[in-house]
């Protein structure tokens, strides 16, 4: 099977991007090449990480486009030019257009810092998730890697892992512990995808040894 060409979309620090870079380097992610990092934010540290690792870094400025659809089309064009197979969202804060999702159906992976379907959907991103988790008073949260569909955080789930909420947890301490799990799950999901180990049955994602 041909090596999968990956693009990562990121808006911020890019620690999840780093987990993919590291995964490819240390052999946890197989049959993959990280071709491109795209950001909507010129100052995203994710772009620095890309350049520091010899990966093409592309800032596409949303302000130079009429609207979200045009903007998404521009990213899509950049991906197609580079024959990207898999799109990984790693802290990417913009909504993908329906056309984008259709173009990369079952080939866009997102990581979310909760056990979907809890604490997800529009408005649930970043610290907000953990704050709501603490306010609700759940005793178990976690992280989810899923395929992206037209909804927000509604796509088929690839991997999940639980994280215990501790009595002394703050938003910060909980976010850190969940992030550690994100950095395990995301490279694992990317590896499974690139080795062709993921099969869908209705909404269920079946993991097959390959």
Residues annotated as catalytic are: 112
By CB under 8 A, is residue 207 in contact with its own copies?
A: yes
Structure tokens belonging to residue 148: 């992206």
- Virtual CA dihedral for 82, 76, 87, 180, nearest 10 degrees? 120
Least distance from C-beta 162 to its own copies, angstroms? 4
Position among 42, 66, 167, 209 found at the interface with its own copies (CB under 8 A): 167
Residues contacting 30, CB < 8 A, separation 6+: 191, 194, 195
Binding window for its own copies (CB under 8 A); candidates: 8-16, 58-66, 92-100, 131-139 = 131-139
Tell the residue number behind the tokens 């994710």, with chain if given: 46
Using the contact rule CB under 8 A, the part of the chain among 37-45, 50-58, 74-82, 111-119 near its own copies is 111-119
Single out the residue of 116, 190, 192, 198 in contact with its own copies (rule: CB under 8 A): 116
Q: Does 209 bind its own copies (CB under 8 A)?
A: no
**Is 117 or 196 the residue whose CB approaches its own copies more closely?**
117
User: Which span sits near its own copies by CB under 8 A: 40-48, 72-80, 100-108, 151-159?
Assistant: 151-159
8-state DSSP, 167: T
Place of tokens 């999840």: 16
Kindly state whether residue 55 participates in binding its own copies, applying the rule CB under 8 A: no
Among 22, 160, 179, 195, binds its own copies (CB under 8 A): 160
Alpha-helical runs (H) found in 11-93: 15-25, 45-52, 68-81
How big is the chain, counted in residues? 210
Of 42, 155, 166, 64, nearest to 106 by C-alpha is 155
Among the listed ranges 12-20, 30-38, 122-130, 135-143, the one in contact with its own copies (CB under 8 A) is: 135-143
Work out how close the CB of 123 gets to its own copies at its nearest, in angstroms, rounded to a whole number.
15
CB 185 within 8 A of CB 111: yes
Regarding 174 and contact with its own copies (CB under 8 A), the answer is no
Whole-angstrom distance, CA of residue 76 vs CA of residue 84: 9
Residue 40 CA to residue 12 CA, distance in Å, equals 9
166 in contact with its own copies (CB under 8 A): no
Residue ranges binding its own copies (CB under 8 A)? 115-119, 134-140, 142, 156-157, 159-162, 167, 202-207
């Amino acid at each position: 099977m041909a090596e999968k060409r990956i693009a990562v979309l990121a808006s911020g620090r890019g620690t999840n991007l780093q987990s993919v870079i590291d995964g490819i380097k240390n052999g946890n992610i197989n049959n993959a090449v990280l071709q491109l990092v795209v950001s909507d934010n010129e100052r995203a540290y994710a772009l620095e990480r890309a350049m520091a690792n010899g990966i093409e870094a592309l800032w596409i400025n949303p302000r130079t486009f009429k609207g979200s659809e045009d903007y998404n089309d521009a990213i899509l064009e950049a991906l197609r030019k580079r024959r990207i197979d898999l799109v990984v969202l790693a802290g990417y804060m913009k909504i993908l257009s329906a056309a984008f999702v259709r173009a990369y159906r079952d080939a866009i992976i997102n990581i979310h810092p909760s056990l979907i379907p809890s604490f997800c959907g529009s408005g649930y991103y970043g610290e907000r998730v953990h704050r709501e988790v603490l306010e609700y008073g759940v005793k178990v949260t976690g992280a989810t890697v899923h395929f992206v569909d037209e909804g927000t955080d509604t796509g088929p789930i690839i991997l999940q892992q639980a994280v215990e909420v501790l009595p002394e947890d703050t938003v910060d301490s909980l976010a850190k512990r969940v992030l550690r799990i994100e950095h395990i799950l995301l490279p694992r999901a990317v590896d499974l995808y690139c080795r062709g180990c993921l099969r869908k049955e209705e909404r269920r994602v079946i993991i097959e040894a390959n």
